Amino acid sequence: MPVTISRKKEERSAQESTSSPAAIEPDSPPRIGVLAIQGDYAAHAQALREAGAEPVLVRKPEELSTIEGLIIPGGESTTFLKFLERDGFLGSLREFVRTRPTFGTCAGCILLAAEVLHPAQESLGVLDATVERNAYGRQIDSSIQTGETQLEGGPLEMVYIRAPRIVKTGPNVRILATRDGFPVLVEQGGIMAATFHPELSADRRVHRRFVELVQRSRA
């Protein structure tokens, strides 16, 4: 899909926010990064802005020190890993996700999981869950579903694109939404994960949930 003029403006606006922040004011919008390696990171940036946060596009490990939380978007998890292995980025990211709020969607969910199947691969290992890659089929099997959720506001629209499946969760993982009996939106402490793409929906409840999590972490 070609990049539109508005999307280019969104990228520039978010990228301009990568300078080191001053002391955080309690009522200031949280600075939340979006890992801008692949996936629709511009859509995540827009969703964060609409949810009350200041988005920051993150492409270098040193930029992690300028943000309060991070979204790892969809894409191809193996490609993410190959890129992150450069310049010590993977090590910096491992440290960040252990101590700061992080939200992974689709491929981001795979990277956060403790165990990855079909096939097995390296991960960041902070979410007590087992995730099966490409469990819902190929690109042509993508779909839009509407399902119940623990979030306030009624059923939630969920966009699935080559989605993974969470096949097992630990006792401290809270399940916020399911599909066919499997979790699709979960939360564990400062970690959130979704097997769908909330950035592709007009519903901002999932992003607001993460923004609130980041705000609570300030305490």
Nearest to 74 by CA among 195, 203, 190, 157: 195
Q: 3-class SS at 13?
A: helix
Maximal C-alpha separation, the chain: 47
- The reply to whether 118 belongs to the active site is no
Burial of 68 (0-12, 13-18, 19+ CB in 10 A): buried
Q: 3-class SS at 83?
A: helix
Q: Which residue has the tokens 């992003």?
A: 207
Question: Which one of 10, 132, 197, 207 is the catalytic residue?
Answer: 197
Q: Which residue has the tokens 């979790």?
A: 183
Question: Which one of 106, 109, 132, 187 is the catalytic residue?
Answer: 106
- The reply to whether 197 belongs to the active site is yes
- The reply to whether 199 belongs to the active site is yes
State the catalytic residues. 106, 197, 199
